[in-house]
């Protein structure tokens, strides 16, 4: 297990093929400053090929209190504010469209930019303590970390509007029902489950992993005609890889695991 520190406020450790990134600024409820946002990108883009999945979680009682509001407390500067938002976009794009899948463990506050960060990860695991809010509405600001693109795609525009206009907070159960996360587990069970799932994801074939991260979301958003064509090209590319042939042969030779029932 090796340890690297990309920047203050983040810590990274490696467990086999899984890199675990921890938001480590608990005194400020893991509020994200510019260095932390850039550090997330630096971490995920810098992992060696042996890292095949990432888990992100938060230290202390909360996942993330969003943007470090201290950073918007200066003299107004429109050009700098645009660059600030674009910096978040770049970093979260690096998470969402990187080489490896990213799993997030959500507990306590998952608010503002914290919810935006979670939305850029591929699999979200909420613990029962998690609560989701978009306090940008109350602070006189707006989503700036790609959340207005990603969060409505998860929970729908009307619920995002409700949360931003009224300050509504979603419980973990409500967030699960709305589609904000794929899993809901007891407090403390999030990280072990994320590690288990990340290890499984680390084991999939390279071309399938590429297809799931890069092709699937684009196909889902595309005109269906372009989507079917892209799917055929992607499927044929994956299927003709030696790794696919080997895995299919293993199944036919009864050497590979069967699909299991849930539970």
**What's the count of helices (H) and strands (E) in the chain, helices before strands?**
12, 10
Q: How far is the CB of 150 from ligand 1HE (least distance, A)?
A: 12
CA distance 214 to 228: 15
Taking the least distance from each CB to ligand 1HE, the nearer of 134 and 234 is 134
Of residues 75, 116, 231, 243, which has the active-site annotation?
116
Taking the least distance from each CB to ligand 1HE, the nearer of 74 and 224 is 74
- For tokens 């072990």, the residue is 192
3-state secondary structure of 248: helix
Is the distance from CB of 35 to CB of 69 less than 8 angstroms?
A: no
Is the distance from CB of 243 to CB of 205 less than 8 angstroms?
A: yes
Q: How far is the CB of 138 from ligand 1HE (least distance, A)?
A: 7
CA distances from 83 to 32, 78, 88, 112, 215 (A): 16, 9, 9, 18, 28
CA distance 225 to 119: 27
Q: How far is the CB of 141 from ligand 1HE (least distance, A)?
A: 6
Of residues 71, 136, 243, 246, which has the active-site annotation?
136
Taking the least distance from each CB to ligand 1HE, the nearer of 111 and 130 is 111
**Quick check: is 136 catalytic?**
yes
Taking the least distance from each CB to ligand 1HE, the nearer of 111 and 154 is 111
**Quick check: is 174 catalytic?**
no
Taking the least distance from each CB to ligand 1HE, the nearer of 87 and 227 is 87
Interacting residue ranges for ligand 1HE, rule: CB under 6 A: 28-29, 31, 62, 65-70, 88, 109, 111-113, 135-136, 139, 141, 144-145
Q: How far is the CB of 11 from ligand 1HE (least distance, A)?
A: 19
Question: Which of 136, 32, 45 is closest to 93 using CA atoms?
Answer: 45
Q: How far is the CB of 22 from ligand 1HE (least distance, A)?
A: 17
The residue ranges of DSSP E strands in the chain, in sequence order, are 3-4, 10-15, 18-23, 53-58, 102-106, 109-111, 123-127, 131-133, 170-171, 183-185
CA distance 59 to 10: 10
Residues labelled as active-site residues: 116, 136
């Amino acid at each position: 297990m090796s340890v690297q520190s990309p920047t203050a406020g983040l810590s990274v450790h490696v467990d086999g093929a899984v890199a675990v990134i921890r938001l480590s600024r608990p005194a400020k409820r893991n509020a994200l400053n510019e260095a932390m946002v850039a550090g997330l990108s630096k971490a995920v883009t810098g992992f060696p090929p042996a890292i095949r999945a990432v888990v992100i979680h938060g230290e202390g009682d909360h996942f993330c209190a969003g943007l470090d509001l201290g950073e918007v407390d200066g003299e107004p500067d429109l050009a700098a504010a645009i660059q600030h938002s674009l910096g978040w976009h770049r970093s979260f794009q690096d998470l969402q469209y990187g080489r490896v899948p990213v799993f997030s463990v959500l507990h306590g506050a998952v608010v503002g930019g914290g919810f935006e960060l979670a939305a850029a990860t591929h699999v979200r695991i909420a613990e029962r303590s998690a609560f989701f809010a978009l306090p940008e509405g109350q602070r006189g600001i707006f989503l700036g970390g790609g959340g207005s693109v990603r969060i409505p795609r998860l929970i729908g525009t009307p619920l995002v509007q409700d949360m931003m206009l009224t300050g509504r907070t979603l419980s973990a159960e409500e967030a699960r029902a709305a589609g904000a996360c794929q899993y809901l587990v007891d407090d403390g069970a999030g990280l072990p489950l994320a590690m288990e799932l990340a290890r499984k994801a680390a084991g999939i074939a390279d071309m399938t992993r590429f297809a799931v991260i890069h092709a699937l979301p684009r196909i889902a958003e595309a005109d269906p005609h372009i989507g079917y064509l892209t799917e055929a090209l992607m499927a044929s590319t994956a299927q003709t890889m030696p790794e696919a042939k080997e895995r299919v042969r293993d199944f036919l030779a009864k050497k590979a695991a069967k699909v299991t029932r849930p539970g």
